[in-house]
Structures are given as C-alpha cells and as structure tokens.
Structure 1
Amino acid sequence: MNTVLAELGRKYVERWVAVLVLPGLLYVAGAVAAHRLGHAHWADVGRLADLPAVGGPLDGRASSWVLVLAVLPVLSAAAGLTARGVAAALGRLWSEPWPYGLRWAARRLTAARAARWQAADLAYRAALEGAGARPPAEVRARIDALAARRNAVALGPPAHPTWAGDRLGVVGARVWAWYRLDVVFAWPRLWLVLTESEQNALRAARTELDTAVTLAGWGVLGVLPAVWWWPAPLVAAGVLAVALRRTRAAVDTLAHLTEAAFDLRAAVLARELGFDVPEGRLSPETGAQVTAHLRKHV
C-alpha cells in the first residue's frame, strides 16, 4: 500500500509541475522581462543581460538562491492556478448557460447567431430546391458550399451564444432524434459498455479540449504584462487565437466521438439492459423504452 501511495504521490507531483509550475515559470520570467524592458525600451533585449543582478535588497548569492528555490516556484504555481481559473471561467462561458447577470448578452449573441444560421439555411434550401433532380457538378458544389457555410454556424438552430455550446449541445438533440435516447441518463451506462480503445479516444479528446482551454486562459493572463510592456497584448492575442482554433477543433472531435459512441454501442447498451435488440442499429421504439427504463419515472 505504501508503494501505491508513493507512486500516486510521485505522479501527482509530476503532473503538478508539468501543468502548473513550468508554464507558470515561463509566464513569470516573461513578466519580469517585460518589467525590465518597459515601454520605452520594449525591443532592447540587451537590458535583460543584467537581469539577475536586479532586485535591490535581494542582491547577492544567498538572496538569489532564495528567489530561485522559494519565491519563483510559488509565483509560478500561483500564475498556473490563476490561468486555470480563467480557463475554467472561459470553459463555462463557451459550453454552459451564462450567469444571470450576463443573460441579456447571451440572448443577444444567440439571436445574432440564429439570424446568421437562418439566412444560411434559407440560401441552402433555395439552392437545393432550384437544383432539380440531377443538378450539374458545379451546382452540387455550390449546394455543398452553402451547407458547409450553414453548418459552420451550427448544425441546428442555435440555442447558445457560442459555437462550442451549440456543437456540444446538438449531440443530445441528434441522438434523441435518431435513437430516442436521453443522453444525460444514457451516457454513464454507455460508457461502461465501451471498449478500452473507445474510452481512451474519448479521454484523449477531452484532454486535448482541456489543454486548449487552459492555453486560452494563459492568453487572457498574458494581457497583464501590458502594464509595463506594450507589445504584451499582441503576444496574448496570438496565443488566444491559437487556443481558440485548437478549442474549436477539440470540441468538434469530442462531439463527433461522443455521437459515434452512441452509433456504435447504443444497441449493445440496450441488450446489456435486457432489451431484445436484433443485430444492427437501435430502433427509435426500443430507444424510447430504454430511455423510460433509465429515467425511472424521473
């Protein structure tokens, strides 16, 4: 048991260092460099050469060791925790209902996205209806482009102020429409019938999403050194742009894999619960029975 606890403690420390301390150390070093350069000498990297000697009362070998061994790890961990807190707030704004004080903004953003989706959907349907039974290749290509334009806004009528919220939320709507399965009640049971490789794929997608959102948190936190160094917002904007792109890709991957899990294992779940399901996909009628069984009158 002591060996197990020691191994768990070692892995926890390794993860703590990798997730919090090392990125935080890079951030603290950048903030110190920004403070040293200042607005007037923002590109004078030569001013960083004597950075270890700066610090007033902390000059000297002993004080430098105190700074390196005690102060910097604490500051790095604090920066890491702050970035993860910002990332958690961003994640909630992107995928969950907004707080009460921001509901008015959420309604406006949702309405704007809904208007864009409706306009794109009308253009797609008009092109589809006017194409005829056997449209030429260029017409089919235009119809496909219009469908992609609509789907880039959302796969269905937007109900969330952000793309990520709609992309994750539409999984439940699509599974319900196709199988009559309630995702909230079915997902924990479905997870238990997935193979190890399928579970690992979903875990990897979730980890990639968490990493991308955490990077966005660092991007927001990167604005703070602008107090001393004016290019900081440009660097932060670049980090945030990369994080948003990675987040969009990770959300799309996670949504696809979650829906694929239902496509591949919904019938297996029904059979494991004792329902008579022939080989093939789960029918909506049986799915409705499974949902009623899982809800247990809730």
Structure 2
Amino acid sequence: MNTVLAELGRRYVERWVAVLVLPGLLYVAGAVAAHRLGHAHWADVGRLAGLLDPGGPLGGGRTSLWVLAFVVLPVLSAAAGLAARGAAAALGRLWFDPWPYGLRRLARRRTAARAKRWRAADRAYLAELEGSGARPPAEARARIDALAARRNAVALGPPGHPTWTGDRLGAVGARVWAWYRLDVVFAWPRLWLVLEESEQNALRAARAELDTAVTLAGWGVLGLLPAVWWWPAPLVAAGVFAVGLRRTRAAVDTLAHLTEAAFDLRAAVLARELGFDVPEGRLSPETGAQVTAHLRKHV
C-alpha cells in the first residue's frame, strides 16, 4: 500500500509540474519580458539582456538568485497556472453548460439564431433529398451530402445550446435515446463498468485532450494581462485562444464520437449484465426502455 501511495504521489507531483508550473513559468517569463520592453520599446529585444545580472532589474546576490529561482518563480508559476485553470473553468461553463442567470437572455438569442440557421440548412437538405428521387445520380448525391454536412456543421439536431460544443455533447444523449431508448445520465456509470480497458483508456485520453485544449484557451485569456505593459500581447493571446478553441472543438467531437461508440458496442452487454434477455446483435429500443426504467428506479 505504501508503494501504491508513493507512486500516486509521484505522478501527482509530475502532473502538477507539467500542468501548472512549466506553462506558468513560461507565462511569468513572458510577463516579465513584456514589462521590461514596454509599449515604446515593444520590439527592442536588447532591453532584455542583463535582467539577472548583479545590479540589474532582477539581479542581486547569489542568495537572491537562489530565492528567485527556487521560491519566487515556482510560486508565481503555480499561481499563474491556477489562474489559467480558473479561466478554463469559466470557458468550460460557457461552452458546455447552461449559461448563468445573468447571461440567459444572450443565451436565448444565440440559441435562436443557431436554430434558425439549422432549420434553413435542414430545409435545403430535405428539399434536395425529396427532389432527387429514390435513386439519385452521383451529382445529386454529392449535393445531398454537401447539404447534410452544412446542416451538421451547425448541429447534429435542432440546437438547444448557444454554442456548438454544448450541442455536440448534448447530441450524444439525444441520439442514444432516439436509437436505444437509454437514458445516458443513468446508463453511463453502469456502462463504464462493462467497457474493456482499451475502451476506457481511449475515453480517458479523449477527456484529457479536451481538458488540455480548454486549459490552452484559458492561457489565451490570461495572456491579455500583459497588454497593460506591452501592446502586442492581445495578438499573442488571440492566437493562443484560437488554437485552444480549435483544439477544443476537435476534442469535443472525438469525445462525443467515442462516447456514442461505447453505447453502440456495449449497450447490449450492459443489458445482459443487468439480467435482461438480449439476443446477439444491437439493443432494441423496447429492451432499452426497460433497461432505462430499471436504472431510473422510479426517479
């Protein structure tokens, strides 16, 4: 048991250093450089020389340098990392969860605008599908596929969230319910227990990639602070945020696909483990409804 705890402690320290301290150290160094350059000398890299020299802005005696390197910088780096995680948590609330009360009106307007776009794209898709007949030629099939992709780029179903990421994750529950009549909220903890280790690892990796991407966007938000001293900072922050947002969308799509795939592959196994008579093949909606009633337990 002591060996297990020691290994867990070692991995926790490694993760703490990788997630908080190292990116925070880069951020602190960038903030110090931005303060040193200022607005007037924003591109004068020569002003950064001698920062740690004796008598310099950050210099001092040997003891001061040791304190700076092993006490001040790690603390500031960890503080910056925690601030970035806080910004990431706020972004996650906006991207994945219902918006807070003060933003409900804006959320309704954004959701309505996205729903309007989705309905227009869906009408164009259905019109092309109906006009092409039962066996459309290759050119018509290409147009149908393009219109379907255009609609799905807005959302896989009628939007119910102000952001694409929120709708993409919400679509998993809607699609699983429509196909299997399984309630994802109640079924997921039980389904996790019947997944194979490789499947669990794939989902863990997808979730870790999502957390990393949202944290990168959080660093982009935090990158706006050095703009007080250095005017190009918002440009750098915007680039970091854009990369974080792009990676977040990709990670959300991957996680949603893997979660839905877990139900496609293991829903019947879950039903059999719960004692339901399920023949080989996929879970039927009728049996899925019984499984959901069993899992909800009248809740």
Normalised to the residue count of structure 1, the TM-score between the two structures is: 0.97
Q: Secondary structure at the match of 2:145?
A: helix
Q: Which residue in the other structure is 1:84 paired with?
A: 85
Q: Which amino acid aligns with 2:39?
A: H
Is 1:207 the equivalent of 2:223? Answer: no
Q: Which residue in the other structure is 1:221 paired with?
A: 222
Residues 105-140 of structure 1: CA deviation (Å, up to 9, x unaligned): 111110111111111111111111111233222221
- Paired residues in the alignment total 298
Aligned equivalents of 1:48, 1:154: Cα separation in 2: 48
Residues 94-115 of structure 1: CA deviation (Å, up to 9, x unaligned): 1111111111111111011111
Aligned equivalents of 2:115, 2:261: Cα separation in 1: 26
Q: Which amino acid aligns with 1:218?
A: W
Aligned equivalents of 2:56, 2:97: Cα separation in 1: 45
Q: Which residue in the other structure is 1:20 paired with?
A: 20
Q: Which residue in the other structure is 1:176 paired with?
A: 177
- Could you tell me the percent identity over the aligned residues? 88
Is 1:3 the equivalent of 2:3? Answer: yes
Aligned equivalents of 2:58, 2:137: Cα separation in 1: 79
> What is the CA RMSD across the aligned residues, in angstroms?
1.3
For 1:110-129, list aligned pairs within 5 A.
110-129=111-130
**CA deviation after TM superposition for structure 1 residue 56, in Å:** 5.1
Aligned equivalents of 1:87, 1:154: Cα separation in 2: 23
**CA deviation after TM superposition for structure 1 residue 88, in Å:** 0.9
Aligned equivalents of 2:197, 2:145: Cα separation in 1: 36
**CA deviation after TM superposition for structure 1 residue 8, in Å:** 2.0
**CA deviation after TM superposition for structure 1 residue 58, in Å:** 5.6
Q: Which residue in the other structure is 1:101 paired with?
A: 102
Q: Which residue in the other structure is 2:69 paired with?
A: 68
CA contact (8 A) 2:52 2:59 kept: no
For 1:255-294, list aligned pairs within 5 A.
255-294=256-295
Aligned equivalents of 2:274, 2:225: Cα separation in 1: 54
4+ aligned runs moved over 6 Å, structure 1 = none
Aligned equivalents of 2:254, 2:132: Cα separation in 1: 32
Aligned equivalents of 1:7, 1:294: Cα separation in 2: 36
Give the 3 Å change call, closer, same or farther, for CA 70–280 of structure 1 in structure 2: same
**CA deviation after TM superposition for structure 1 residue 3, in Å:** 2.8
CA contact (8 A) 2:51 2:58 kept: no
**CA deviation after TM superposition for structure 1 residue 237, in Å:** 0.8
Q: Which residue in the other structure is 1:40 paired with?
A: 40
Normalised to the residue count of structure 2, the TM-score between the two structures is: 0.97
Q: Which residue in the other structure is 2:138 paired with?
A: 137
Give the 3 Å change call, closer, same or farther, for CA 242–57 of structure 1 in structure 2: closer
Give the 3 Å change call, closer, same or farther, for CA 72–57 of structure 1 in structure 2: closer
**CA deviation after TM superposition for structure 1 residue 222, in Å:** 0.6
**CA deviation after TM superposition for structure 1 residue 59, in Å:** 2.5
Q: Secondary structure at the match of 2:282?
A: coil
Aligned equivalents of 2:5, 2:128: Cα separation in 1: 64
Residues 63-103 of structure 1: CA deviation (Å, up to 9, x unaligned): 12211111110000000000001101111111111111111
Aligned equivalents of 1:57, 1:178: Cα separation in 2: 63
Q: Which amino acid aligns with 2:114?
A: R
